[in-house]
Structure 1
Amino acid sequence: MTLQTIGNALLIVVLIGWIGFRQLTWRPVSIARMWRVPAIMAIVGVVLLVQATDATHLTALDFAVLLVEIAVSLGIGAWMGAIAVFRPLSGPREDPDAILHSSSVESRTGWWGLALWVLVIVIRIGIDVIAARAGSHLATSTGIIVLLVAANRAARTAVFAYRLDRMPAVAA
């Protein structure tokens, strides 16, 4: 087992815990704030890819794997945004930081959102194993994992923004 494999496993466990917790708890919705995480993760993912990948050894298979994984991640992220439940903000008693979010609603995706998140991981591992056996060098990169999480969160945020624009105003 290599250090990169251990690092990837640790990253996956941390991301599952962090996003899993967020799927199950009511969180104030602030679209501007929600865009920050995918933006930062995308930058980190690209930097990790550039540092770890030799561009001269990339193949069409590497790009195909990347496109398939991003498409799956975007699709499941949009699905997560579509199943999210919104409710009027409970108030500062339950979330002391709610005032800082300047939101009138909160959301969660619940157990279905967590199940979709696990599906992203399972598909990622399956594609990684198949692609690595086929000779893809890019599929096993930590940068790809970070980019896929960024794509998932970006699609979820885009669907949230769309749904909230169509939602009747909620009194704060």
Structure 2
Amino acid sequence: MSVQLLANILIGIALVAFLGYRQATWQYLDPTRIWRTPLVMAVVGVVVLTRTRSTITTTDVVFLAIEALVTIGVGLTMGSITRFRTAGTPDRKGRTIQSRTGALGAVLWIVLIAVRIGLDVLGGHLGAHLLTSTGTILLVLALNRAARALVIDGRIPRGDRRPSGMMVR
């Protein structure tokens, strides 16, 4: 097992565990924060990919496109199943709206992981080796989180809003 493969596995497990936990528990919702995670993952993913010395083949592009479509679809679904509630007391930042996707969100993470592994294995056999890059993994997760954020941003219960994006009761 190569060091890169081991690093990819560890990073993937850590990100999935972290994001899965956050999906299953009620979290205070900050409309600007839902965009921060995909942006950071995308920037880091692009930086890592620019350091990759692999040649990009047509097979890589096809498998990346398939994976992008699947991950965006899962992200859009996660955004649409997100539930909202108003907390009894605001957090220290004054936020009162909370959100989560619950058990179905966790199932969608499992589906996303299974599809990702399947595409990696099949793509590897067909010569698509860019799929296993840490940068690609981060970009795929960034796409998922951005698709989710897009839907959630449009569904957030809105009231009178402060300039900072916080809800006013």
The corresponding residue for 1:8 is 8
1:81-134 CA distance string (max 9 Å, x none): 100110112324xxxxx232x533110001110110111111000000000100
Q: Secondary structure at the match of 1:68?
A: helix
The corresponding residue for 1:95 is none
1:53, 1:138 within 8 Å by CA — same for their partners in 2? no
Match runs of 1:49-88 below 5 Å: 49-54=49-54, 57-88=55-86
The corresponding residue for 2:162 is none
The corresponding residue for 1:151 is 143
Matched residue count: 162
> 2: distance between equivalents of 1:90 and 1:123?
39
The corresponding residue for 1:30 is 30
Unmatched 5+ residue regions in structure 2?
160-166
1:26, 1:106 within 8 Å by CA — same for their partners in 2? yes
TM-score using structure 2 length? 0.90
Shift of 1:155: 0.6
> 2: distance between equivalents of 1:148 and 1:90?
36
Percentage identity across paired residues of the two chains:
40
The change in CA–CA distance for 1:53 and 1:89 in structure 2 (over 3 A counts) is: farther
Name the Cα RMSD after superposition. Answer: 1.5
1:8-66 CA distance string (max 9 Å, x none): 11011101210111011101111211101100100000111111233xx2111111111
Does 2:110 correspond to 1:110? no
Unmatched 5+ residue regions in structure 1?
93-97
Match runs of 1:41-52 below 5 Å: 41-52=41-52
> 2: distance between equivalents of 1:129 and 1:20?
23
> 2: distance between equivalents of 1:137 and 1:9?
15
Shift of 1:171: 6.0
